Chains A and B, each alone.
Chain A
């Protein structure tokens, strides 16, 4: 008699997906660290130079730092990017576990890729449209509370709207077909988030003489880093999951492993 398995198979599957998601997120964080280092750090340095020049001109002195700039731009940056990568990878894998087999006849890799694209749009592009990333020296310290609340409110609304959009799409798919259902679903998301973005108060705290090119390059670097994070998560998670499903299938049917397409 075979011993009773320690975990029911569907629990074991979620566990595998969650561990895979966190590891893939860590890798994605490391890849995006390269982008942050190469594209982002020069702009952070330029913004801090602007800030220091202003402080010096105003006769003030820069307050002493707990951590040196050197530490902040290496280990500090790596910690932030990698920890967020693990968190995103974990959330992503749970969303994948929910989506798997529920989005029509999609393969594991297609599901994973679509989900990562949705994650990038929902969690990066939409908040960025209203409250884009800002380099140091932009932002009034007195409004940090309101700005943080509005940022997370927009992020929350975006995630909620994405869930509702998928629900709407799934309910229209049987009657209207996949094409129409996708358009209706995406249309709902764009309209809902367009309205939210319109209603939320705007923030413009860029000093008049802040170099526009530094701001532009900083924001592009921020977007590029997060794009790389989500692209790595979607592609790597999809490839690994597809491979493991195929292996499990081959074991189950006792056939030799078919090469992936």
Chain B
């Protein structure tokens, strides 16, 4: 008896499905654009750059911006 008749299934890692780049690209581009916008508004609007005049966005997100490590003030 050299080989066990049943392989221990939990240890057998099934190969993960590979997603082709062509299928990924449109989602990736759209997702990155949206995510960049969100990061910009949380991290930099009315700080270094100002699309909306005033300080309301800066003030509203003030504490989060500091604690998330973005440059502020």
- Contact surface of A with B, Cβ cutoff 8 Å: 8, 10-11, 13-15, 18, 36, 40-41, 44, 65-67, 71-73, 75-81, 83-84, 86-88, 90-91, 93-94, 97-98, 100-102, 105-108, 111, 124, 127-128, 131-141, 144-145, 147-149, 151-152, 218, 221-222, 225-226, 245, 249, 258, 260-261
Residues in chain B near residue A79, CB distance under 8 A: 60-61, 64
Bound form: Cα–Cα A154–B59 in Å: 25
Q: Which chain B residues numbered 1 to 33 have a C-beta less than 8 Å away from chain A?
A: 9-11, 13-21, 23-24, 27-28, 31-32
- What string of 1s and 0s marks CB contacts (under 8 Å) between B36-73 and chain A? 00110111100111000011100111111111111111
Q: Judge whether A139 and B73 touch: CB under 8 Å.
A: yes
* Chain A residue nearest in CB terms to B73: A139
Q: Judge whether B63 and A41 touch: CB under 8 Å.
A: yes
Bound form: Cα–Cα A102–B20 in Å: 11
Task: Contacts A91-B32, A101-B17 given; indicate if A36 touches B56 (C-beta within 8 A).
Answer: no
The interface residues of chain B, by DSSP majority, are classed as helix
Residue in B9, B32, B63 with the greatest tally of chain A CB atoms within 10 Å: B63
Q: Judge whether B38 and A100 touch: CB under 8 Å.
A: no
Residues in chain A near residue B68, CB distance under 8 A: 80-81, 84, 133, 222, 225-226
Bound form: Cα–Cα A14–B56 in Å: 36
Q: Judge whether B71 and A148 touch: CB under 8 Å.
A: yes
Bound form: Cα–Cα A67–B69 in Å: 21
Q: Judge whether B62 and A72 touch: CB under 8 Å.
A: yes
Say how far B10's CB is from chain A's closest CB, in angstroms.
Answer: 4
Say how far A152's CB is from chain B's closest CB, in angstroms.
Answer: 8
Bound form: Cα–Cα A80–B68 in Å: 9
Closest 4 CB pairs of A and B: A80-B64, A148-B48, A133-B69, A101-B16
Say how far B73's CB is from chain A's closest CB, in angstroms.
Answer: 4
Bound form: Cα–Cα A149–B41 in Å: 15
Instruction: State which of B13, B59, B69, B73 has its C-beta within 8 Å of the C-beta of A66.
Output: B59
Task: Contacts A106-B13, A111-B16, A136-B72 given; indicate if A80 touches B23 (C-beta within 8 A).
Answer: no
Task: Contacts A67-B60, A80-B61, A149-B48 given; indicate if A100 touches B19 (C-beta within 8 A).
Answer: yes
Q: Judge whether B66 and A144 touch: CB under 8 Å.
A: no
Q: Judge whether B73 and A124 touch: CB under 8 Å.
A: no
Bound form: Cα–Cα A10–B31 in Å: 16
Residues in chain A near residue B14, CB distance under 8 A: 245, 249
* Chain B residue nearest in CB terms to A223: B69
